[in-house]
Chains A and B, each alone.
Chain A
Amino acid sequence: MRPAAPLTRSAAPIARNSKKILGVTTVVENRPGGSATIGTGAVIRARPDGYTIGLGSNSSMLLQPLVNPGLGWSTAEDFTSVVKLGDLPCVLAVRADAPWRTLAEFIEHARANPRRVRASNSGLRTTPDLATHQLNRKAGTQIVSVPFTGGGGEALLALLGGRVEATVGFGPTTKGQVEAGKVRILAVFARERYELFPDAATTVESGFDVTLPTSYYVIAPKGLAPEVLARLTEASVQAVTQPDFISFAKANGYILNPITGDAVKAELTEMQAELREVLAFVQQRS
């Protein structure tokens, strides 16, 4: 179990709901490891009978095949995406006693001090790490991304302890420190204001078009029969629009967005193109 991915535990409420809806008991099997590619792979390679579905993230579904060829899938064409659950946007936070009030001021400081401004995050090639590089790319800065692997806690600890200048992470982990006045959110990596921090400016309104979130989807193997897919889609949408799931997701900082079918596929394709761009940028840098 990776502390970094709280939504993996949302499988349990979904399973309970699908029991109500489909009338079958769903067995949740956690397959950790390999950056979640083991679990995702097990679903993608399963018999397309509608009995095996899984929870995948944009990292395991789109990013991993780019950095780890030979997994058995490479694009959104290689599996069925049933429904999107939602996004977890990244946030950029600094210490409350830091001199920067806005993202623009922070970027200006980073431009003037290339490779001297450091932003911690919860791991190399996680969404916050890639979002940091994407910001570097769009803003022409050289912020050093410092990956910690302790599940997000250590990245924030490094900021609180004054070991880095900023941290890029997720809302729920940061919220307590924000409320206590220890850290300040300079930007949310999103287009629209974030319910968790309604007062924080977004990257887009600050003039930087960097919006990479971590997103979760219900996936199934490729080649489901149309009626099976229809039934599965209906049931999944019902499961993720139940009040108890919505309150679970909101409490954990997710922006729910239950789109299905071609809309999901289009989003995935677009997202993978962006991931490919960022990776190319990182590789050319190093």
Chain B
Amino acid sequence: MGALEGLLYGLSVATLPHNLLAALAGALAGTAIGVLPGLGPVAGVALVLPLTFALEPTTGLIMMAGIFYGSMYGGSTTAILLNIPGESASVVTAIDGYRLTRKGRAGAVLAVVAVGSFVGGTLAVIGVMLAAPLLASAALLFGPSEFLALTAGGLIVLARISGGSFAAAGFACMLGVLLGTVGQEMVTGLNRFTFGNLELTEGINLVPVVVGLYGVAEILRLAEAALRQPEPVRVRLRDLFPSGEEWRRAVPSWLRGTALGFGFGLIPGPAATLSSFAAYRVEQAVSRHRAEIGQGAIEGVAGPEAANNAAATSALVPLLSLGLPFTPIAALMISAMMVQGVQPGPLLIQQHPQIFWGLIASIYIGNVMLLVLNLPLVGLWVWLLRIPVWLFVPLLLVIACIGAYSVSNSMLALWVLLGAGMLGYVLQKLEIPLAPLVVGLILGPNIEKHFREGMILAQGDLLYFLEGPISPTIWALAVLVSLAGLLRRRRAQPVPDAL
């Protein structure tokens, strides 16, 4: 079966009424789950897993995919409106998205995100269709040394993602890395910095940290300014849609984000998160309006959102063609397939073309659904902003607590939420950027893991980390990009930046 033939076949499978219904139900539930912080994509897919046992394989997988994409989209909604990223991939979306909301452009941003996710998803589906068999082996090129180059190089490049001086951004970044070392370490299973607390062995979870740093800190600022709160920005109907200029500015960012996200998705790892951070960094470097990024520029939202959707789509290539789960979601999907008697692996496309192409097509359908679903919802979300502050603050507090707790059913997460909230408040007053802290917390454990795995694999030979064409190239790129950034900032007037 050729690629186009396959996709057409897949579309015929995915547009069967019950499959369309599954895609719609999944997208709806996913959006709801994503809007609630803490209930991220993994929790959402896990909730539906038992349901899929009763459905036929294609329908079940279509529903899971719908939930996954819906929750990715929902997560960015709260990031834009409330400065509370629903999951880690939307942390960067909050930077410019929330500033645009405060300028009264919330509706426009949400529309740009909905269309951008659609564009990213669509182009990625086409990419998968054209190149799936070729791309399948891309993951094989990556071993510990390449992963170390990618994650450590990524840390160096992304540390300055939201500005700030070298010391300020680096401090926040390494603080995040440090928090990531708490808990049972992965290689020998030793408990580090846990002070005998069993719940701490699990480590400091990303969700309460992100919700605390951004959400609780924002709640505290809202409470502080409660009486002097400016009238909620009046949003006219016309403002719900992006202006012509905003559309024009978004298009190149979507395309850049899509290309980047597509590439990241092929490499096993936290592709969606990493690609949205990287896309933001790229916009800072090449966008025509780069000076405005960080102050509320549409490019800072359009690029990352297209990227994480493209990455989530192309990540299916290693999942389906290698049959290897690199993320918890992938593990859940593989388990669901195996219960249905479908073995993911190199033979999937030949043995079960209806699953492979049906899933690819359903992702496309899911993207259309999300667009249809979310454009009308933009008005509703923006209306939420008009809840009075006295009700808004406690409501957000309760949601933040539930979100933090439900990630791992642990009381510890609530304490982490409180601590991160206070830290976020203080750091912001001191104009220390917060995004690098999140970058550090995400990448730190990966860096340690790949370093130690590499050392064991190479039996202590450090030169191993510079072998092959890929690692040295990534290292060289990372150094070049960060040097270029330093030089440019030296020439420009340094602008202290609080986010």
With A149-B187, A172-B338, A252-B339 in contact, is A37–B139 under 8 Å at CB? no
CB pair B325 A35 closer than 8 Å: no
Q: Give the most central of A3, A144, A156, A248: most B CB within 10 Å.
A: A3
CB pair A33 B202 closer than 8 Å: yes
Q: How large is the interface on A (under 10, 10 to 19, 20 to 34, 35 or more residues)?
A: 35 or more
Q: Does B387 contact A (CB under 8 A)?
A: no
With A1-B328, A150-B326 in contact, is A158–B143 under 8 Å at CB? yes
CB pair A251 B339 closer than 8 Å: yes
The smallest C-beta distance from B53 to any residue of chain A, in angstroms, reads 7
CB pair B348 A67 closer than 8 Å: no
CB pair B53 A163 closer than 8 Å: no
CB pair B456 A147 closer than 8 Å: yes
Contacts of A13 in B (CB 8 A): 50, 53
Among B186, B187, B341, B459, the residue within 8 A (CB) of A144 is: B459
Q: Does A244 contact B (CB under 8 A)?
A: yes
With A12-B50, A115-B459, A161-B141 in contact, is A176–B202 under 8 Å at CB? no
CB pair A37 B198 closer than 8 Å: yes
Q: Does B453 contact A (CB under 8 A)?
A: yes
Residue of B nearest to A125 (CB): B189
The smallest C-beta distance from B411 to any residue of chain A, in angstroms, reads 12
Among B140, B198, B199, B331, the residue within 8 A (CB) of A160 is: B140
Among B50, B140, B189, the residue within 8 A (CB) of A35 is: B189
Residue of A nearest to B140 (CB): A161
CB pair A157 B322 closer than 8 Å: yes
| A-B contact number at CB 8 A | 150
Among A6, A32, A144, A154, the residue within 8 A (CB) of B335 is: A6
CB pair A157 B345 closer than 8 Å: no
With A33-B199, A34-B198 in contact, is A146–B325 under 8 Å at CB? no
The smallest C-beta distance from A172 to any residue of chain B, in angstroms, reads 6
Residue of A nearest to B186 (CB): A149
CB pair B343 A31 closer than 8 Å: no
The smallest C-beta distance from A84 to any residue of chain B, in angstroms, reads 21
Interface bits A19-40 vs B (CB < 8 Å: 1, else 0): 0000000000111111101100
Report Cα–Cα, A151/B395, bound state, in Å: 38
Residue of B nearest to A5 (CB): B331
Q: How large is the interface on B (under 10, 10 to 19, 20 to 34, 35 or more residues)?
A: 35 or more
Among A38, A177, A182, the residue within 8 A (CB) of B199 is: A38
The smallest C-beta distance from A167 to any residue of chain B, in angstroms, reads 12
Contacts of A182 in B (CB 8 A): 346
Contacts of B322 in A (CB 8 A): 153, 157, 160, 176-177
CB pair B456 A180 closer than 8 Å: no
CB pair A124 B187 closer than 8 Å: yes
With A16-B50, A154-B326 in contact, is A175–B187 under 8 Å at CB? no
Residue of A nearest to B196 (CB): A70
Report Cα–Cα, A118/B49, bound state, in Å: 36
Contacts of A97 in B (CB 8 A): none
Residue of A nearest to B412 (CB): A33
The smallest C-beta distance from B438 to any residue of chain A, in angstroms, reads 21
Q: Does B379 contact A (CB under 8 A)?
A: no
Residue of B nearest to A32 (CB): B408
CB pair A124 B325 closer than 8 Å: no
Q: Does B384 contact A (CB under 8 A)?
A: no
The smallest C-beta distance from A249 to any residue of chain B, in angstroms, reads 10
Report Cα–Cα, A278/B406, bound state, in Å: 38
Report Cα–Cα, A9/B408, bound state, in Å: 15
Report Cα–Cα, A252/B325, bound state, in Å: 14
Contacts of B332 in A (CB 8 A): 1, 9
CB pair A176 B46 closer than 8 Å: no
CB pair B345 A153 closer than 8 Å: no
The smallest C-beta distance from B90 to any residue of chain A, in angstroms, reads 21
Contacts of B191 in A (CB 8 A): 68
Contacts of B142 in A (CB 8 A): 157, 161
Report Cα–Cα, A149/B269, bound state, in Å: 12
Residue of B nearest to A177 (CB): B345
The smallest C-beta distance from A105 to any residue of chain B, in angstroms, reads 23
The smallest C-beta distance from A95 to any residue of chain B, in angstroms, reads 11
Q: Does B184 contact A (CB under 8 A)?
A: yes
Known contacts A35-B189, A150-B268; 15 additional CB pairs below 8 A are A1-B42, A3-B330, A31-B410, A32-B408, A37-B201, A38-B201, A124-B187, A149-B187, A150-B449, A157-B139, A163-B143, A164-B457, A177-B346, A248-B339, A251-B339
* 17 contacting pairs across A/B (C-beta < 8 A): A1-B46, A3-B330, A33-B183, A33-B202, A33-B410, A34-B199, A34-B202, A68-B189, A125-B189, A144-B456, A146-B457, A149-B187, A151-B325, A157-B143, A176-B322, A179-B345, A182-B346
Point out residues on B near A: beta carbons under 8 Å. 42, 46, 49-50, 53, 139-144, 183-184, 186-189, 191, 198-199, 201-203, 268, 322-328, 330-332, 335, 338-341, 343-348, 408-410, 449, 453, 456-457, 459
Point out residues on A near B: beta carbons under 8 Å. 1-3, 6, 9, 12-13, 16, 29-35, 37-38, 41, 67-68, 115, 118, 123-125, 144, 146-154, 156-158, 160-161, 163-164, 172-173, 175-177, 179-180, 182, 244, 247-248, 251-252
Which 5 pairs across A and B sit closest by C-beta, in order of nearness?
Answer: A176-B345, A33-B202, A3-B331, A153-B324, A180-B346
